[in-house]
Amino acid sequence: MSGPSPKTVLKLALPVPLPHLFDYLPPKTPAASESPVVPGVRAVVPFGRRKLVGVVVECGAPAAVDSKRLLRVSRILDDGVPVIDTSLLGLLRWCWQYYKHAPGEVLLAALPPALRKPDGLLPEPPLRFLITEAGREQLAGPPGRAPAQRAMLKALADGPLGEDELAATGSRWRAVLKRVSEQGWVESEPEPASTARPSGGHELTGEQASAVAAIREDLGQFRCHLLDGVTGSGKTEVYLKVLEQVLRDGGQGLVLVPEIGLTPQLLRRFRQRLGLEPAVLHSGLSAGERLAAWDAARTGRARLVIGTRSALFTPMPELGLIVLDEEHDTSFKQQDGFRYSARDVAVKRAADGELPVILGSATPSLESLNNAQSGRYRHHRLRHRANRAVLPAWRVLDMRQQANVQGLAAASVEAIEETLEQGGQAMVFLNRRGYAPVLMCQSCGWHSECARCDASLTWHRSTRQLCCHHCGSQRRAPELCPDCRADALFGLGEGTQQIEEALGRRFPGVPVLRFDRDSTARKGRFGEQVEKVMEGEPCILVGTQMLAKGHHFPGVTLVVVVNVDQALYSADFRALERLGQTLLQVAGRAGRMERPGTVMLQTFHPEHEALALLIGEGYEAYAGWLLEDRRAAGLPPCAFQALLRAEAHLKSDVETFLQAAAAVFPDGGCRVYGPLPALMERVGGRYRMYLMVQGPGRPELHRQLDAWLPLLRGLREGRRVRWAIDVDPQEV
């Protein structure tokens, strides 16, 4: 027997945080039936003392080390069927190179969790069951002594059913199914692909129609379309019209939405308009549900996938369109581990697959606006609300001159009262959950601080807890001041719970619905509350960011924004961009139907030029002003950045490492700045700092980063810290 030739080495991505692929010999004597190993298949390999599941990335590459020392793949999984197709594999490879992240972690993140384990298998294709001629005859005959069998035949008489539907016919359905199948009364076949039956939909406005026409023209080729339409302008209707065409042409559609944009209402809308069941993918699903949805997309049974960030990596053999709704949303950027931007990777996927991508938003990111201005993206503007509703009117409340009860201005309370009297619904927005952001002692000035973070502990009065919203630590709230023992503790500032309580007291009998991460923690609660709002009875909604995103609440005519002043003076250069987006998105919930809406903005800085511009002239002017500023300051999107982030228990370790890292930064057109402290320097007892690398061009930035990385890995100072590269960072 000849020794293994280097030609047959397999390169695998394994789930370990190392920056390379791993060489293995192919499995021993593959069975005759087994097809040759191809890229994209899963394999089990020995790794140290463990067995790992990896994905074969390359076959037949020359081995990096002497092949005699190589270990052998234990076995190939899934009968050698690739779980990741070639084009997706190419995209993932681009990702690990671009984001400088471990290939194995990138690749395995693209697999449903169930397939990351050796015992997880590709699911069997689902079957559906049909009644046969003999079955019909049986049903037509006199009822026998097997009522369960008869009931099943009866259920099938109206058309084929899947396993889920049969399961609803009785607990012993499997046994019954077996019996009727043996009799030849029922047969099975693979579940066919879902087909779209679009119906309904609006007659498009002129603006919608021209956007739809332009995007349809580009089907079958790559182009990025920025759909820049004010809140309520009917962007979703544009997506639907283009998707209709894609589905009709036999393509698959992929729709990505922000973390909390994936609501039952949204799904219902897609389901009803397109007349098909979308495969839904998000992190809240069970492993089994996720696997099933992913597999339906991979095999082409599912024609439409709707999901959050990571759904971007679903294999879809006939993908014809990607839609990214609320493209400015920060949840599209993963903030730990594999720090990718789903927006940017979506554009790359579309380019690779030669298909159009739609980025939609009422408040586009400066990155996308910049790309539209430079002609790289096609820019479609929808300036009017679709259903003749007008954009809401703004009222700025100078809080220095307003009586203020528990955070609410007297004028806001009056406006809420008026709204309720007229049968409308009011929404109060503030970005702080809990009862009060700080618990403070009136006598000695003590205040609740997290021992492990540079942050105060939020007072959750109902549960009598002090909670850190950064590291999650919790403790019982003291009754007396822990320092001076005075009975003088009070909550400083307001959180959603306090506003909820204040409104409940002021408007007895009116439902006050709170939407924040605490109140909607229970599964399904969010949806229930939304349903309640949709019933249209007068009510008050109080909530955080969660309320800002894409909801269509027809009854809401008043929006009160409680406190956004912090952002006006933030050290983060993106703070004003985010503020403008949040304000307009929240405001956009008001007056989406016949009755016009009002937005009341409570602020201590009514004269601030940013607010004046945003409210006076709108987002386009505001974003233009911000973009000019970025250009003048040489900041993204007019420059390119990457961060080297590092953290450790000892601040000196972080500093020493970053200084050493800066010292070995290679020469070139990009410069390195720092070490600088993270915006919140200490979280969970760890100090966090970074170096910022910035330059005028992307290729230059990547060339220098790629030259720097091996040097960083060689630094002995790096052993005492956790470090990572963040390309195109969104926060510091």
Instruction: Identify what 562 binds: ligand ATP, Zn ion, none; CB under 5 to 8 Å per kind.
Output: none
Minimum separation from the CB atom of position 198 to ligand ATP (A): 15
- Tell me: is residue 59 an annotated ligand-binding position: no
Of 564, 562, 524, 558, whose CA–CA distance to 543 is shortest? 562
- Please report, for residues 205, 575, 674, 678, the alpha-carbon distance to residue 572 in angstroms, rounded to integers and kept in the order given: 39, 5, 15, 10
Q: What is the CA angle 540-327-111, rounded to 5?
A: 105
Q: Which of residues 428-467 bind Zn ion (CB under 5 A)?
A: 450, 452-453
The neighbouring-strand residues paired with 325 are 360
- Tokens for 532, please give them: 């309640």
Please report the beta strands in 214-351, taking only residues with DSSP state E, as ranges in sequence order. 223-229, 252-256, 279-281, 304-307, 319-325
- The one-letter amino acid code at 68 reads K
Of 407, 426, 435, whose CA–CA distance to 497 is shortest? 435
Of 116 and 452, CB closest to Zn ion: 452
Does residue 545 interact with ligand ATP by CB under 6 A? no
Minimum separation from the CB atom of position 472 to Zn ion (A): 7
Instruction: Identify what 588 binds: ligand ATP, Zn ion, none; CB under 5 to 8 Å per kind.
Output: ligand ATP
Minimum separation from the CB atom of position 324 to ligand ATP (A): 13
Minimum separation from the CB atom of position 512 to ligand ATP (A): 24
- Tell me: is residue 481 an annotated ligand-binding position: yes
Measured in degrees and rounded to the nearest 5, phi and psi for residue 384 equal -120, 150
Minimum separation from the CB atom of position 549 to ligand ATP (A): 8
Give the residue carrying structure tokens 């359905």. 173
Q: Which of residues 173-202 bind ligand ATP (CB under 6 A)?
A: 202
Q: Which of residues 224-253 bind ligand ATP (CB under 6 A)?
A: 229, 231-237
State yes or no: cis peptide before 637, omega within 30 of 0.
yes
Of 169 and 387, CB closest to ligand ATP: 387
Give the residue carrying structure tokens 């049974």. 301
Q: Which residue is nearest to ligand ATP (CB)?
A: 234
Minimum separation from the CB atom of position 685 to Zn ion (A): 8
Of 62 and 200, CB closest to ligand ATP: 200
Does residue 471 interact with Zn ion by CB under 5 A? yes
Is the separation of the CB atoms in 307 and 266 below 8 Å? no
Does residue 204 interact with ligand ATP by CB under 6 A? yes
Does residue 561 interact with ligand ATP by CB under 6 A? no
Of 235 and 574, CB closest to ligand ATP: 235
Print the binding letters for residues 341-380 with ligand ATP: x by CB under 6 A, - otherwise: ---------------------x------------------
Instruction: Identify what 235 binds: Zn ion, ligand ATP, none; CB under 5 to 8 Å per kind.
Output: ligand ATP
- Please report, for residues 66, 161, 275, 312, 608, the alpha-carbon distance to residue 249 in angstroms, rounded to integers and kept in the order given: 51, 27, 15, 21, 51
Burial of 538 (0-12, 13-18, 19+ CB in 10 A): middle
Range in contact with Zn ion (rule: CB under 5 A) among 60-68, 471-479, 566-574, 715-723: 471-479
Of 281 and 548, CB closest to ligand ATP: 548
Instruction: Identify what 363 binds: Zn ion, ligand ATP, none; CB under 5 to 8 Å per kind.
Output: none
Is the separation of the CB atoms in 561 and 586 below 8 Å? yes
Minimum separation from the CB atom of position 587 to ligand ATP (A): 10
- Tell me: is residue 95 an annotated ligand-binding position: no
The b/e string for 595-617 (b: 16+ C-beta within 10 A; e otherwise) is: bebbbbbbbebbebebbebbbee
**CA count, 13 A, side-chain hemisphere, 132:** 12
Cβ neighbors of 629 (< 8 A, separation 6 or more) are: none
Is the separation of the CB atoms in 563 and 602 below 8 Å? yes
Minimum separation from the CB atom of position 551 to ligand ATP (A): 7
Does residue 208 interact with ligand ATP by CB under 6 A? yes
Minimum separation from the CB atom of position 523 to ligand ATP (A): 24
Sign for the CA dihedral angle at 637, 638, 640, 646 comes to negative
Q: Tell me which of 205, 252, 308, 581 binds ligand ATP, using CB under 6 A.
A: 205
- Tell me: is residue 453 an annotated ligand-binding position: yes
Binding residues for Zn(2+): 441, 444, 450, 453, 468, 471, 481, 484
Residues that bind ligand ATP (CB under 6 A): 202-205, 208, 229, 231-237, 362, 386-387, 550, 552, 588
Which residues line the annotated binding site?
Answer: 441, 444, 450, 453, 468, 471, 481, 484
